[in-house]
């Protein structure tokens, strides 16, 4: 797995349900995720099972729990997520941070760690982030990471910008 100066990442397990439910029940965290509303406990469990199943189906890729190294606190999740965008297979850098940890640079640190992992370990030639234009926090993270908005599309019923980056 990967680690950054303040974070380490591990695969989700069913024991992480309460943590994930805490994040997915928060309207502010979920505002720019999926349909933009909190998930029910049942939906959270279904998505957790999808996250876990994706590890084998996608060669270990998927969202992983972000654990703060200093104290073991679960602060969010991030990872490389296979996406189908306009018929093209893409690899997305995804990141969600629990609201208690917003504004501390964790989203950027996580995204940077996964970007570097994708370049160095997986030899990816392109990464994307799918971001709703009014999600200014994620837009800032993507831009700081070196990503640019290459186009705006409709994706899963939402107007989104496809941010992309190639290794330099």
**What is the pTM assigned to this prediction?**
0.94
Q: What percent of the chain has pLDDT over 70?
A: 100
CATH code at position 38: 3.40.630.30
* In a domain? residue 1: no
Mean pLDDT of 20-46: 95
Residue 95 Cα distances to 62, 87, 109, 168, angstroms: 11, 23, 10, 22
**Model confidence over 45-58: pLDDT tens digits?**
999 999 999 888 87
* In a domain? residue 96: yes
DSSP 3-state of 78: strand
DSSP 3-state of 107: helix
pLDDT at position 168 = 77
* In a domain? residue 73: yes
pLDDT at position 162 = 98
* In a domain? residue 2: no
Domain extent, residue 15, equals 7-165
The pLDDT confidence band at residue 59, using thresholds 50, 70 and 90, is confident
Number of domains in the chain: 1
* In a domain? residue 27: yes
Mean pLDDT of 64-81: 97
Paired tokens of 4 = 């950054």
């Amino acid at each position: 797995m990967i680690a950054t100066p303040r974070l380490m990442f591990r695969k989700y397990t069913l024991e992480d349900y309460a943590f994930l439910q805490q994040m997915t029940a928060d309207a502010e965290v979920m505002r720019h995720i999926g349909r933009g509303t909190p998930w029910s406990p049942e939906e959270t469990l279904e998505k957790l099972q999808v996250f876990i199943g994706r590890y084998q189906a996608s060669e270990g890729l998927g969202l992983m729990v972000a654990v703060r190294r200093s104290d073991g606190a679960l602060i969010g999740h991030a990872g490389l997520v296979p996406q189908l965008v306009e018929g093209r297979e893409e690899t997305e850098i995804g990141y969600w941070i629990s609201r208690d940890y917003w504004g501390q640079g964790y989203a950027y640190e996580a995204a940077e760690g996964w970007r570097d992992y994708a370049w160095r370990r997986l030899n990816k030639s392109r990464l994307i982030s799918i971001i709703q234009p009014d999600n200014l926090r994620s837009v800032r993270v993507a831009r700081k990471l070196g990503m640019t908005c290459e186009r705006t599309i409709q994706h899963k019923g939402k107007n989104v910008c496809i941010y992309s980056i190639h290794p330099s």
